Amino acid sequence: MPTPDHDAKPATRVLGVAIIGHSFMGRIHAEAWQTAPKFFELGAAVRVVVVSGRDERATTEFADRFGIVDIETDWRAVLERDDVDIVDICVPGRLHADIAIAALAAGKHVLCEKPLANTLAEAEAMAAAAEAAGKRGVLSMVGFSYRRTPALAYAKRLIDDGRLGLIRHIRSQYLQDWIVDPDFPLVWRLQKDEAGSGALGDIGAHIIDLAQFLTGQSITAVGAVMETFVTSRPLPTASSGLSASAGDERGHVTVDDAAIVIARTDGGALATFEATRFATGRKNALRIEINGSLGSIAFDFERLNELEFADGTLPDVEGGFRRILVTEPGHPYAGAWWPAGHGLGYEHLFVHQAKDFVDDIIRASTPSPSFADGLGVQRVLDAIERSARDSASWTSVN
């Protein structure tokens, strides 16, 4: 007679992921879901079970490359599947609301790329759907991945511990240069109906989220200017991620190339934000500096393993900024990776995002950033666009 196996482990819970989209974000998310369980102890096994894309050949190639067994050419089909627990939305903003709301209604947890939606109305509908789903234990998160940079997560810890004191200034820029060439094609990120807005929503949204997240304060008022420097571009013949080839026909650019914003927060701080794709030489310079009554932090994503910290409580002779290499086992996320000093990259933020979302699902805790946080950012984006349209508050010099 077989003896009962008292040491048998309980069956591991398996979370099935459906990725919608297979371009830049689809790739980095697929990699993240597959890597997270290799480096972090998760309370569940994670399997990417299906990828969905309209182009069957490209979707199949993607599935083969990432070892994903199934593809679907209609995202609706993945919602029918019992082996899908998480729907991961990696497509242009135009589709976010439809997919997220349907997936939540189908009982799937949803991770949605940023910005949450193309319009404030869509973001409101998504946040309402997320709140209702949350009551049924169905969770949602928006992909403001930079929160999961160890240096920024550590900055958050310093601020929460009071090391900066009262926050006076938030000074932030997100600078890229991938469309400086006026003949760079009119990819979806440059079309309002696809992306909602341009530099503002694509990269400005990240620094607005970070400012609110790091300080715990909300932006209450904004003044803004926005500009489209290159108003017509060649239509793309093919595109992948941020690269594309140009055809002979041209079309209108319907989004902003740059946005500059001044703002106030409910904690009494003054903030500035600059988002541009025309900062020649700046590739992915997400920078944020926060000055408080007791100290300051400064960060630049082009040196993502470093955080600068000025401790204003030190004697003057020891003052000023010093560099912290945020790779010690005691720093957020860093202990799961390489020995101190070996450094992480862009893709690791997405691994941390996948890990945190799985942790939330296992613990049944509300993910952060939630769709409500995404809606909060969308309200700021909307106010910025309204302010930029209304030049009434400008004062002429002459």
Contact residues toward ligand SOE (CB under 6 A) are 24, 176, 202-203, 242, 284
DSSP codes, 232-284 = EEEEEEEEETTEEEEEEEEEE--S-SEEEEEEEETTS-EEEEEEES--TT-SS
Rounded-to-integer distance, Cα 113 and Cα 291, Å: 30
Q: Is 177 exposed, middle or buried (0-12, 13-18, 19+ CB in 10 A)?
A: middle
Smallest distance, ligand SOE to C-beta of residue 55, A: 20
Q: Which is nearer to ligand SOE, 176 or 327 (CB)?
A: 176
Give min distance, CB of 274 to ligand SOE, in A: 14
Q: How far is CA 360 from the centre of its chain?
A: 17
Q: For the CB of residue 115, give the shortest distance to ligand SOE in the complex, in Å.
A: 9
Q: Around Cβ 187, how many Cβ atoms within 10 Å?
A: 21
Q: Closest distance between ligand SOE and the C-beta of residue 137, in Å?
A: 29
Q: In angstroms, rounded to a whole number, what is the distance separating the alpha carbons of residues 388 and 384? A: 6
In the chain, the amino acid numbered 34 is Q
Beta carbon of residue 70, minimum distance to ligand SOE (angstroms, whole number): 27
111/203 with CB nearer ligand SOE: 203
Preceding amide of 115 cis, omega within 30: yes
Cβ closer to ligand SOE: 119 or 284?
A: 284
Calpha distance 390→247 (Å, rounded): 36
Task: Tell me how far, at minimum, the Cβ of 202 lies from ligand SOE, in Å.
Answer: 5
Beta carbon nearer to ligand SOE, 203 or 290: 203
Q: Which stretch of DSSP H or E encloses residue 167?
A: strand 167-175
Residue nearer to ligand SOE on the CB measure, 47 or 282 = 282
Q: Which is nearer to ligand SOE, 84 or 116 (CB)?
A: 116
User: Would you say 230 and 179 are in contact if contact means Cβ atoms under 8 Å apart?
Assistant: yes
